[in-house]
A = this chain, B = another copy of it.
Amino acid sequence: MQDDMSTIQDVARHAAVSVSTVSNVLNGRTDQMKPETLERVKASMDALQYRPSTLARQLKTGQTPLVGLLVPSMANPMYGYIAREIEACAQEQYGHRVLIGNTYRDAGKEAAFFDDLFAHGVRRVIVISSLADESHLERAAERGMTVVSYDRRATPGEQSKVDHVTADNEAAARLATGCLVAAGHTRLAFATVAGITESRSDKIRGFLEVARDAGADGQVLDGGPANEYGDAVIVEVGRALGAALAADPARPTGVVAVNDLFALGLMAGLRDGGLRVPDDVSVVGMDGHFLSAISWPALTTVQLPVTEMAAEMVRRVMRHDGDPSSAPGQCVFPGVTLVERASVAPPPRAVESNGDNA
């Protein structure tokens, strides 16, 4: 129970040198140090089990090896996955630890988290899938924080201090929709929770584009408003929408879901309503989460380059202010690929519904 960790002073005394000498070995400035002194200091260090206090160091330097990570909810498996990648990269590549916060997409919680991070001396933050309004991020950046935003794009025209990295959501949606079109579907829908985020608009645009080009009917369905921070609830919203779809005789035959979790919920709802996937309705997800591989039927989905994106986010959040490449920008990852599995099949009957809504 004794919290008597030894200090740099103790080491200096023990090694019979000054604190600066100890500080110098701590910071690797050992080039012009007498080898025996170095040895002595090192010996004293582990004799005393000395651990430098990051705390005191950062009070002096203003730097703390911590990065903040805001996610809507860690209980969302996709965010958990991204968080793991980010933490691993920050730790292994940069020796930084990660401070997390669940924001539930709540503006107040996000702002409070930023304040806390700031008070803790943290100046690097990765924000996953934030609110529509990004002004608080800009404000944080203006306060001197390096902020990287995931799953959003920079507002065109405006010079942003916030860095953006995202998958090419439009391309992902095109891939997903194209897969349905290729299977012969002409009544298409994009299924999502209510509420528009940037990534969702991008996906919708990609969906609509391919649907139009194929001369297919493409509608956007939302499962209603939800406190949608993306874990258990998103699944339930998807499930409810699936059940509603099952009850609708004029339902689409091919559905693109906003993400894998929603797709999984949707398939459950469709089953609840007595329908079979893919026999009655085909479903495509987006994310490429490992859970999509073991669902039944196995979910056809679009794989996002999560590890690469995580690495890029960390790289950007770690940039030094003076860097030449220091300017925040935008990084849209093109590497999205279709993973074809068992949730897509040709539509039940060859219904010719071309002229309906076109």
Contacts and interface: CB of A to CB of B under 8 A. Distances in A.
Interface of A: 1-5, 51-56, 58-59, 62, 64, 66, 73-77, 79-81, 83-85, 87-88, 91, 97-102, 113, 115-116, 118-121, 123, 142-144, 161, 231-232, 235, 239, 264-265, 267-268, 271, 290-291, 293-296, 298, 321
B294 A54 contact: no
A280 to B, nearest CB: 14
Number of copies: 2
A5 B76 CA distance: 35
A1 B120 contact: no
B5 A143 contact: yes
A182 B78 CA distance: 37
A295 B115 CA distance: 40
A62 B98 contact: no
Contact of A55 (B98, B120, B293): B120
16 contacts: A1-B161, A3-B62, A3-B123, A3-B143, A5-B143, A51-B115, A54-B119, A59-B59, A66-B120, A74-B81, A74-B84, A75-B85, A97-B113, A264-B291, A267-B296, A291-B291
A230 to B, nearest CB: 11
Given A55-B64, A97-B99, A239 B294 contact: yes
B119 A52 contact: yes
B59 A87 contact: no
A118 to B, nearest CB: 6
Nearest to A83: B74
A290 B232 contact: yes
B87 A91 contact: no
A274 to B, nearest CB: 13
Given A55-B59, A231-B290, A290-B235, A80 B74 contact: yes
Give 10 nearest A-B pairs by CB, closest first: A80-B80, A3-B144, A268-B294, A232-B290, A77-B77, A74-B84, A75-B84, A54-B119, A296-B296, A75-B81
Contacts of A58: 55
A80 B75 contact: yes
Contacts of A98: 99-101
